[in-house]
Structure formats: structure tokens, C-alpha cells
Structure 1
């Protein structure tokens, strides 16, 4: 059975996403690594067939930035040069082309630094402009690991008081995954 996950994108990445040309669509590639700002999909247990929702926090509300259905996760070296860096001059690099995004947006939104894996999308939706999880769904939001479920700290009356409990990649409970799916379906109609 497929699982659903969130991955937190800091405000600067979410803001850069807003300036992406609407024709570009959500990226076909998301990058992961060893750090909290760019966490590992593999370590979080993401696998083929799962859904990943990039999220951010805006004015105390949980913003859904997009949705990606996972095809596979590969080593980043299989997608981009081993000497990765923000100084790359050639915009014809395969890993930028694979993302489907213009080079300047690729750097601002997708690729920060210290990446060692790439999630390749089977399907992708977004980026969504101003798609927020309802206050009621935010209040009931629950993350699930292999042993237990937990509500993120800092959520009061459907408002998020701090972003730290959302930073990383987290598996959603079935009810929370349904709330995300409903929000996306409602946005698309």
C-alpha cells in the first residue's frame, strides 16, 4: 500500500516557487541528502508508488506546494555530475533538463546543497498557488512512524505556531493523507 509523506521547504524556497513560470509545472525530480534542510527520502522510508507533498508554513497555515508520485529514488550522481555546485555554468546539464525547470529556478527552489539522492517522479501536480490545508485538518494532522502516531507540536486551533516540528520528511497517517488528497482534488476542480 502506498504511503503519503510531507517534505518541508523553507519560506525562501516556497517564495521562489511562486515566481516559477506556470508552464514549468512541478519538478519531475526532488533532491534529498544528509541534512535537515535537504533530508533523505530513503532514510524516511519513501518508496516507489508513494506520494510526497512539498509543504511550507505561511502566516501560521500549512501550505501545500505540490504533489509528486514517486517512480524511484536513485543516487544523485546518476542524475547530475559528481562535482555538483551552484557555480555550474552549462544550462544544458542533464540534471537541470530532467527537472523540467529553467536553470535559475532549479537553483533557487530544488537544489540547495549537499544532495546525494534524487527522487524521480512518476506523476506530479503543482506548483499550487495559495493551497492551504484547512484549519480543521491542520488541527487533526498526525504523523505516523513504524511504531506510533504523533501530532506535531505547536499547532493550536488550526494555526501553526512554529515550523520546527514540520522540518524534515514525515509519513502522514491515513486520515491526514486523505485530508491532503482532498485539498489537492478540491484545488484542481
Structure 2
């Protein structure tokens, strides 16, 4: 039986993914917190990977793919994968040692939010037993993103909830504005706006 995992993407990574207009087909892993290991997280062939991110204290389900193969790579063999998946190169910011090849991927979206009530019950299954996502306030907003950062196995009911989010109409509350073309335009667009993540 396959499992399901969330894979956290920081904002710069998922904003870049929004510009890739093709289904999610690859992810990269390594030995660092900024690019964690899929093998260490016990991800296997057939498992589902849900890319998630945080925008203004809301958990976004960015996209999903099924693991077809996990390949261990070195510096020499990695270049071939970077060439093959040039559109997704930004997902490998540091010392990459794994390439996760996917199938059945979705497009990446920035407007599929986990509702506050669902977020309060979303549960991970680490080795030491089930744990809900921490740092969720009474309004169903994340006060800290630390408990979703990394690669975590989902409880089956929570995986179904994330699937439902992907299949639901976009959430106006979480819609991510498109990135301004220049830093000056960005500074102008975001002046006076304070965001937690």
C-alpha cells in the first residue's frame, strides 16, 4: 500500500514553480534542511507527494505527483537530470543527491488553500506516532511554518483532505498575486503589507 507525504517548498521555490506550465514531474532531495532527503523520510516508489507552501499564514496545496523512481546521483550524473528537467532546476538549490521521478503529476497552482478547520485536524505519521500540525491558531491560520517544513508522511484521511483541496475550486482567500517584473515594482506593490511567511 502506498503512502502520501507533504514536501514543503519555501516561497521563492513555489513562486518559481507557478511559472512552469507543465505537470509536476520531478523533485530533488539532498542531505540538508533546505533540500531534505526523500529516502531518509522513507518515501518509496508508488507514494504520493504533495508539494505544499505557506502564504499569509495559509497552507497551500501546490500540486501532487506519484513517485515512479528515486535515483541516487552524484555530481556527474546530476547534470543530465538538470538538462532533462531544466524547467524544474530551481527545486535543487543545494547539494542534491536524489532525483525523484514522478508520474501523474498535476499542474502547480497557488490558490488551493487548506481550510482552517481542516488544517486543525491535518495529521502526520512520524515514527513515534501521529501528530497534528502544530502552531495553528483558533482561526485555522499557521502562526509558524516550522511544523510543515520538511518531508512528512500523512495520515490517510489527511491525504484525502489534500486531494479534495486539489480538486476544489480555487480559494479567493489564498490567491497569490503574480510576481512583479522588477524589484522596484515589487517594493511598490508590497509597501505597507506585512506577511508572516
TM-score (norm 2): 0.79
Measure the CA separation in 1 of the matches of 2:15 and 2:91. 12
Alignment match, 1:94:
80
CA RMSD of aligned residues (A): 1.9
- TM superposition shift of 1:94: 3.2
1:30 aligns with 2:27: yes
**Gap runs ≥5 in structure 1:** 85-92
- For the structure 1 residues 35 and 98, does the alpha-carbon distance in structure 2 shift closer, same or farther, using more than 3 Å as the test? same
Is contact 1:73-1:119 (8 Å) kept?
yes
Bigger Rg, which one: 2
- For the structure 1 residues 111 and 179, does the alpha-carbon distance in structure 2 shift closer, same or farther, using more than 3 Å as the test? same
Measure the CA separation in 2 of the matches of 1:17 and 1:11. 10
Task: Tell me the SS of whatever aligns to 1:126.
Answer: coil
- For the structure 1 residues 34 and 153, does the alpha-carbon distance in structure 2 shift closer, same or farther, using more than 3 Å as the test? same
Is contact 2:65-2:102 (8 Å) kept?
yes
Is contact 1:7-1:170 (8 Å) kept?
yes
Measure the CA separation in 2 of the matches of 1:126 and 1:16. 13
1:37-186 to 2 correspondences below 5 Å? 37-77=34-74, 81=76, 94-99=80-85, 101-102=86-87, 106-107=88-89, 109-157=90-138, 158-186=140-168
**Gap runs ≥5 in structure 2:** 171-197
